[in-house]
Amino acid sequence: MQQDIFTMGVDIGSSASKCIIMKNGDAIVAKSLASVGAGTSGPEKAIAEVLSQFGGSLSQISWICATGYGRNSLKEANKEVSELSCHAKGAHFLFPGVKTVIDIGGQDVKALHMDGAGRLLNFVMNDKCAAGTGRFLDVMSRVLETKISDLAQEGAKSTKKVTISSTCTVFSESEVISHLANNETIPDVINGIHRSVASRIAGLAKRVGVEAPVVMTGGVASNFEVVRYVSEELNASIATSPLSQYNGAIGAAIYAFEAYRHQLEDDALTIGTSK
């Protein structure tokens, strides 16, 4: 009987570190998330937590692949893979046949156009601006003293349209403060923020050419109001998964499995030719 192969994918993002352990490249056996990203203790915390959930040690992991903004800093990694490649692979695993992936993380928005068979055809990314990203929502949630995980629920209580017209995070923050000073309610202001973010995201996604099936990944995919408004703007239904934020780490763990298998094949070839 063949022994199971365990691989690890670590996605070190700008605001969170995600870790996945997979068995034989096709089953998730452990996952962890530390809410701090690159340049912090986040990756170490995420690795320690995923290993404790796995109930084993690093020596049982055949190959580790790092991705994300902070991928170059992970000393445990056997290989680094670009975010785009990992997101494409992760999305095809979570949503087989997907053609458009909209990934919204803490610092960037990516729209990927895929061929339905897991290959990346084209992509578009936002510029350095935080508008339309998780960072924008993080700043607003602080101003509104509402937890990031409660934004969608609160925004859904809105009964009146409040417009956030500026796309700049700094100016939008002032706009939010002045709406609150004018006695607009928190749900109405949150709703305005969600619509503003969704319109930026949809604008970017349209540039890549949106083709169904469409999915949303990254931490912001947990915000069902943002998903709803992007879906309305694109006139397309959008699927999400409870594992959306782990998408890049899942892709990295699959890459790790493939890289390990290649290495085994190369080793077998070398042994074969040296005989």
Which residues contact ligand ADP (rule: CB under 6 A)?
Answer: 13-16, 37, 68, 105-107, 134-135, 137-138, 148-149, 218-220, 222-223, 245
Cβ-based neighbour number of residue 139 at 10 Å = 18
Beta partners for 238? 214
DSSP secondary structure letters along 167-229: -SHHHHHHHHHHHHHTT--HHHHHHHHHHHHHHHHHHHHHHH---SSEEEESGGGG-HHHHHH
CB distance 210 to 244 below 8 Å: no
Would you state the structure tokens that stand for residue 239, as one six-digit string? Answer: 């699927």
Would you state the structure tokens that stand for residue 237, as one six-digit string? Answer: 């239904």
- Expressed in angstroms, the distance from the first to the final Cα of the chain is 26
